[in-house]
Structure formats: C-alpha cells, structure tokens
Chains A and B, each alone.
Chain A
Amino acid sequence: MKILIVDDSPDITDLLVKVLTTLGHDVTASDNGREGLEVIMKEKFDVVFLDIAMPDFSGLDVIDRLVQAGRIKESPIVLFTASSITDIEVNELIKKGVHSCLRKPVRIEALFEKVQEVAKPQA
C-alpha cells in the first residue's frame, strides 16, 4: 500500500517508515505541511498520517486546502496527533471528509489495525 506520513518530528517519521516498510508498504515521509500538501496533490495514497501541530503550515491548513480543492477524499486522511483536540472537533473534521483520528502516543498494534481499517473498502 502507498502510505504518506506528514509529521515535523523526525523521530516519529523514522519509526513509522521503519515499521510500515517492514510490513511491505510503500512509505513516503514529509516533515512539513506545505510539502505534504504538494505531495498529496500530486499523488494518490492509500493512507495519509497527518500531524496537526506543525510550525508554519499545520495539518488543519492542509485539510482546509484539500477541502477547498475538493480533493479531501482522494487519499484517506488519518489525523495523527498529540494535541488536545477534542472528540467533537475531530467529528467536525470527519464531516469535512477526514477519515479518522489516531491519538499519539499509539501502540504499534493499534497503528497496524488503523492501516488495515483504512485499507478495507468502506462499508
């Protein structure tokens, strides 16, 4: 599967790239929102893990641009965040077309489950 990770922390991108690559996925990483957005606009991914709290251009900015461009649903977006965003706020984003939210920190099993959940055709 093609997976994109957008996160400003190299420790986190390194972890996810290693773990997911081992499982046989094609993993791309970007360390800022602006570049991440460009990549999403260019290519289609099976899953995008998107951090929210990033300097300069946040995950929410990425979502706004995708919504404006009408391409939010092209690559399923999974919010991957440690921020204190509330469930209600997450629900609002899901209504806009975001797939789901995975809160940091996360057990590696939960990460695998999430990838499988996204990969499954939507009911």
Chain B
Amino acid sequence: MQKPVFRSIKSKIIFVSLFLSITTLFAVSLLSFISADNVLRDRASDQLLSESTNRGVALRSLVDTRIQQARLLAANESIQNGVQLFNENGMPDGKQLEDLRKEFEIEIESFQHGIGESTILEDVKILGKDGTIFLSSDPAEQGSKLSIFPDTSSSLEFLPVGDGRKAVVTVPIFEHGKIQSKPIGVLVATTDVAGFDEILLNRKGLGDTGEVYLVNEEKIMISESRFIENAAFRQVVDTLPVKECFENNAEINAIYPDYRNIPIVGFSYCAKDLGFVLLAEIDEAEIFEPITQLRNAIIAASVVISGVVIVISMYLARTITKPITRLIDAADKISKGDYSYNVKIESSDEIGQLAHQFDMMRKSVFETNMNLNRLVRERTKDLTDMTNALDATAIVAVTDKDGIITKVNRKLVEISKYSEEELIGQTHRLLKSGHHSQEFYQRMWQTIASGRIFEGELKNRRKDGTYYWVKTTIVPFLDEEGLPKQYISIHNDITNLKNTEERLHEALARDRANAEIIKRQVEELNKTNEELRHKDKLKDEFLSMASHELKTPLTPIIGWCGALKSSVILGTLTPEQRAAVDTIEKNAIKLEKMISDMLDAQKLELNELKFIITDVEVDRIAKNIQRDFELMMKEKKIEFIINVQPGLRLVSDEARIMQVLNALLYNSVDFVPKSNGRIELVAYASDGQIVFGVKDNGPGIPKDKQQFLFKKFYQVDTSLKRKHGGTGLGLAISKGIVTGLGGEIWVDTKDSRGSSFYFSLPRESKHEDPNSRRQS
C-alpha cells in the first residue's frame, strides 16, 4: 500500500496552486530565454561580422597602399641606376658614394613630399644583389649585409622597434625599363603604425569588452591588446580562428575561449596572404548580460508569486476544510453512537448543502437504528422461544467447525447417559456405534462442510454400551465468506421405529428368498414357452411356403384343363376324355381351395387376417353367389333358394363375406342328401345388424359336437368311413373372419332336421389393422 503524499485537502490545494503558477512561470521564462538568446546572438553576430570585415578590408587596403608607395620609390631611375652600378662595380669610393647618397636623400625627400605627411618614411635602405646595404638613411649601415635577397615578391611586416612597433615594407628593384626582368636589388622602408592602429584600436561598435587585434602565423599577437599591456610580439594567441585561418584559410564565427581563456563571441578576417588574421571579439558575458538580468527578474518574480499563492491557497483551503473537519467530528460521534451532534454550517455552497444532507442522514440513521434495535429485541425473543421449544422436543448439540461439541441439551444427556461435562469438548465420535461405514461419515462431513444440510439416520452407542437410533438433521451455520463456523445437530429418537423395521426386513428377506425360487420357475416356464412359440413360427413359415409352392404347379394343371375343354385351342375331346379332364380340373380346384384354407387358417392364428373395408351391397353378393353355385346345384340336383331382403347395404369386406358364404354353402352341399337336397341362403336386417344364414336339410349336428364346430381341423365324423372330405378348416376360418369384422357366428341345428348357420355383421365394420408382422 502506497502512502498518500498529501494527507489533507489543504496541502493538496497549496501544492496544486503552486504547481500551476510555477509551471506557467517556467514556461513563459523558457520561451523568453530562448527568444532573447536568439535575438542577442543575432545582434552580436551582425555587429561583429561588420566590424571584422570592414576593418579587415581597410587594413588590407592600407597594406596595399604602403607597398605601392614603396614600389613607386623603387622605380626611381636614379636608384635603379645606382643599384646597377653598385652590382657591376662594387661599392664606389668616397666621393662618388657621397654624390649618390645626396641624390638618394633628395629623391627620398621629394618622394616623401609626393606622398604627403600622413606617412613618414622613417628609414629607407637600398640593398644590392647579395644583400649588401648600398645606401641607407643611416649612413653607418652602408656596406653591412642583411640576409634579404632580391625577389619579385613584396611584403609588409610588423616588427618591434624599441618600445614600439614599425611596419617594414620590402619591395624589389628592377633594372630601369625592365620591370618584368629579374630584380637587381631590394628596397626596405620602415614606416610608423599609426595608420594601422587607427583601424585596430577604434572601439566604435565593440561595446565595453570588445577588441580587434592581429595575430601572425607564429600565433603571436602583433597589435596591442585592450586587456594586457605590451602584448604585441609577446602574447601567444593559440585560439580556434587562428588555427582555422592558417591551416584551412577559413574564417569563423563562434563562441570560444580567447587568449585570456575567457569565453567570447568572435569573428575572424583571415588574410593569410598578408601573414596575419584579424580577430573581432566581444565577451560572451557582455552580449548575454540582458539574459542574466531577465533571469534575475524572473527569480524575484517567482519568489513573490509563490509567496502570494501560498497565502491565498492557505486561506482558500481553510475555508473549505474547516466545515469538513466539523463534518468529520460529527461522523466520528455518530459512529460512536452519539446522534445528538448537529452540524451547523450556515452556507449555501456545496459544503453547506453537504452539511444539510448529512444532518438529514444523521436523523434518518438514528430512526433506523431505533427500529433495528426494536426488531433485534423482538427477533431475539422469537429465537429464544424457538430454541426452548427445540430443546424441549429434540436432542440438540452444537459443535464448532471442527466438530468439537460446545453445547448439549438435557435430552442428549438423557438418551446418551453421558453427563454434560463428559460430552462438551468431545466430538460425536464418542457416540459412534461402529454400525456405519467410514464412507458414510465422510459423505456426511463433505455435505455439511460444503454448507449443505445433512439428513440421515444414525445408530449411536450409549455410555452403558447399549445402542439407540436417531433421525439426524445437521445444519451448518455459515460465516460471511460462506464457510461453516458451527454446526447444529438435531436428533430425534427413532430406536423403536428402527427395531420394528429390522424385524420387518428379516421377514422380507425370507419372503424374497421364496420369491426368488418362484421367479426362477416362471423364467423356466417362459423359456419353454418361447421355444414353443419359435417352433410354432417355424411351422407357420413352412405352411406359408408350402402352400405357395403347391399353388404354382396347380396353375398349369387347371389352365391346361380349361384349354383342353375348349375345342378352339386343342381340338374337340371325346365325351370320355372330357369327363376325365373335368375330374382332373375339379380335384385340382378342390386342392387349391384346401391350400387357400390352410393359408387363411394360419393367418387367423397369427392374427394376420386383414380386411379391405368398402361399401358392400348384399344384392350384388347374392347375384355373384347365384352365378357361382347355379350350375353346380343344378348338376347335383339340389334345390337352391336365395331369400335376401332387397336393398341391404353395409360397410365391410365383400370378398371375405363371399368367402364365409362359400365355405358355408360348400359345407351344406357336402351334407345335404343325394336326392331332394335343399339349401337356402337368407339375409336380413335385425337389431341394427345384417344377418346372413345358410340353411340345409342335411343330417344336422349333434348337440354335444356343436361346441367344437368352429375349431380347426374338426370333423364331426372322424371315422375312416366318413364320406365327407374337406380340411375341416372352413368353419374355423369363417369364425375368424366374422369375428374380425366385428360380428358373431353361430349354428342353429336340430338333429335330423338339418342345420342352419348364421352370422351377423355390424352395419359398419371398423377398419381393423391388427398390429402384426407383414409377411411377404
């Protein structure tokens, strides 16, 4: 945690005000400094540039003037002739030399006259070809030798002479009229330096510390210094512009330390060809003095402004913090429970509003607190009542989060037979019976430790070693982080219940063993059934396949019979052949019918008989029956009566109704007497149903056999001598069809008075789709 730098609003305000004012001041100063610096530097540069250039140019022109003057003198004809004579004949003797000298002095004087008094030729020497002084203003020098030899170049040098300086000019002397030729001698003239000093020592435009001076190639000052006496020819000046001039022939302007090692702003004028460099310099301190003054002014202003800002901000801070301090005091008192303190701040600003709101809050908190206290008292009383009620009815124990018992009630002491002192400080392990597994306790702990309520039944052990059962609820009490801080366990004695339950369990276990045996037997039975069903299914599949395989060969048999009977196809048969074919055909058709019956019977058994429900007209059925049976009845000489109520209609399966009627009619045809046989087909509406009937005058069916009539493969006469064929399936299939269409079939027969088969059908058969397997 970082400690706040400013502990109070007061210090914050002071800091911020100071920071703002100083920052502003700093920014303004910085800008002023930069602009002032630029202005001053520019001004100094301009000034120094013009000074160095002007004076440099003036100096150069003065040097040129002096040399020109000397050259003019050297071009004097008599001097030229004198030098030639001297070179040819050597030093003349006294008289001739005296004449030449006079002439020389006259020439010098007239020349001095010509150039005016501003330049005083102080000393003129004429040197011959080997450097011997031939003529001199000082006659004592004549004849001595100087190490100067004729050369085409001219020069001007500043030299120390006595206490002062002189400018010495050296120019060549040529043979008269032959300027371009080799020089024959040298003229050396000395002049004063007043003209040069006038240029250099003029202080105009150089301020208080500026100076202009010359330095030669040996880095020796060759003019006077403003700061050091007798500096000429003594003071070494090894500064940047000197080096630049003589090494690179360059001029510079820069700030650098001068020969005194004081920083200056300097400009150079390089005249390397003349052997010197001119330096114009002003002390940096002088140039930037205005900046120094500005800085001092700003510092003074900063001090004054800071002082004022501190005073103002302290006053401001005081006016803000004082009421806040009062509010803090009030809050402190409220937190200690004293609600009587009234913050009185008579002000309409934000702080005044805050104080007002604070006061409102204080009152409201006070009221809420009172209400809370009252509520807490009420709830505490409720809780106490509830606890007392719980203590009176249940076994209660309180443990801390580690399961250590901290509180028990009288009921726990009674049931466990341990005293309160023995229980407190222990865990519930003291009561463990060993009945429950380790996992059981782990589960219990996981439940309550995760803050959920545990409910279960526990077997505990008393101090005397006997056991008791309790139904237990353990409620965890959670702390603010949601972790259990203590557990309350509430138990109810269920020992009696448990004992009863145990006895019940024992009884149940015995029953279960018996049930197990029965179950096994049933399973075996089911298995046997399953096997039987499977065998039955195999049988059915075989039947289905067999009937199909049987029908296929019947097709050409019946077909060829028909073809044989038709004279058109295979020619006319004899009556005997015709009878034979008839018999074959009749039997083949009978066989086909039996196969069909078998198939239907099988479908009946598999509950697979399906119906196609349409509108059925009974009149049409009657017509079809008449057509199908007329011929046969006539052949067998049976009286066939159709007695059908006209206009009967029903919704049913026409083909199936035809099938049932066919079966009943064939049945009757088989049983009626050979002569005077009589069969009647009836149909009428009765009780909302349609009833069909086939009556005959056959032998009838004995009462005791009637109940088996509709069973599969049943024959009334099972003796080997029986005269009636058939599969015995017809009636069984008929019953299946009629039942499937929602009707009933029955027989009404009296011995020796014929039998009557009836079946009734509802006017509308439901389209039953028995949920059976589809067979392809």
Contact = CB atoms under 8 A, between A and B. Distances in A.
Interface string A68-96: 00000000000000111111110100000
Nearest to A14: B556
A25 interface: no
A84 B599 contact: yes
Contacts of A88: 610, 612
A82 B559 contact: no
B680 interface: no
Most buried by A among B556, B588, B610: B556
Contact of B592 (A18, A19, A105, A109): A105
B173 interface: no
Most buried by A among B552, B562, B568, B655: B552
B556 A11 contact: yes
Contact of B568 (A16, A22, A87): A22
Contacts of A16: 559
Contact of A84 (B556, B558, B775): B775
B510 interface: no
B551 A82 contact: yes
B552 A108 contact: no
A71 to B, nearest CB: 24
Given A22-B568, A53-B548, A105-B551, A12 B610 contact: no
Interface in B549-577: 551-563, 565-566, 568-569
A106 B556 CA distance: 9
Interface string B588-614: 110010000001000000001010100
Contacts of B95: none
Contact of B563 (A9, A11, A89, A108): A108
Nearest to A21: B569
Given A53-B548, A84-B599, A87-B610, A108 B776 contact: no
A108 B556 CA distance: 10
Contact of A18 (B561, B565, B569): B569
Contacts of B612: 87-88, 91
Main SS at interface, chain B: helix
Given A18-B569, A19-B569, A108-B566, A12 B555 contact: yes
A97 B761 CA distance: 33
Given A53-B548, A84-B547, A89-B776, A104 B563 contact: no
Contacts of A11: 553, 555-556
B544 interface: yes
A67 interface: no
Contacts of A84: 544, 547-548, 599, 775
Contacts of B559: 12, 15-16, 19, 105-106, 108, 111
Interface string A1-31: 0000000010110111011001100000000
A46 to B, nearest CB: 20
Contacts of B553: 11
A108 B569 CA distance: 11
Given A82-B548, A86-B775, A19 B563 contact: yes
A62 to B, nearest CB: 16
Contact of B556 (A12, A89, A91): A12
Nearest to B557: A105
Nearest to B556: A11
A19 B776 CA distance: 30
A120 interface: no
Nearest to B569: A22
Nearest to A82: B551
Interface in B517-557: 544, 547-548, 551-557
B774 interface: yes
Contact of A89 (B568, B589, B774): B774
Contact of B554 (A18, A87, A91, A104): A104
B223 to A, nearest CB: 127
Contacts of B655: 87
A15 B556 contact: yes
8 contacts: A12-B559, A16-B559, A18-B569, A82-B554, A84-B599, A104-B554, A105-B557, A108-B563
Interface of A: 9, 11-12, 14-16, 18-19, 22-23, 53, 82-89, 91, 104-109, 111
Interface of B: 544, 547-548, 551-563, 565-566, 568-569, 588-589, 592, 599, 608, 610, 612, 655, 774-776
